Amino acid sequence: MRLIIIVAFFSVFSIVKSQDTTNSVLTNEQKVYGLSFIWQEMNYNFPYLVNSKIDWDSAYLANIPKVEASNSLFEYSK
């Protein structure tokens, strides 16, 4: 009986996992959250970015409208 339950579980899991997610739509809040999460990870893990020639705060602010204007996951991830 356990074997049947385990096989059924993995069968359902593989079907759900294999669904096509290329046309998934993200809300603007999710897009900005993703950008903010990446920015914060860079800020936390690379403390010497302050000494670089790139102003990460202005790059973050400049990319918010680009992220919100993306229409697909492909455009969002570019």
Q: Are 24 and 73 in contact (CB under 8 A)?
A: yes
Question: Considering the entire predicted model, what is its pTM?
Answer: 0.62
* Number of other residues whose CB lies within 10 A of the CB of residue 18: 8
What digits encode the pLDDT tens for the residues 27-71? 889 999 999 999 999 888 887 877 888 888 888 999 999 999 988
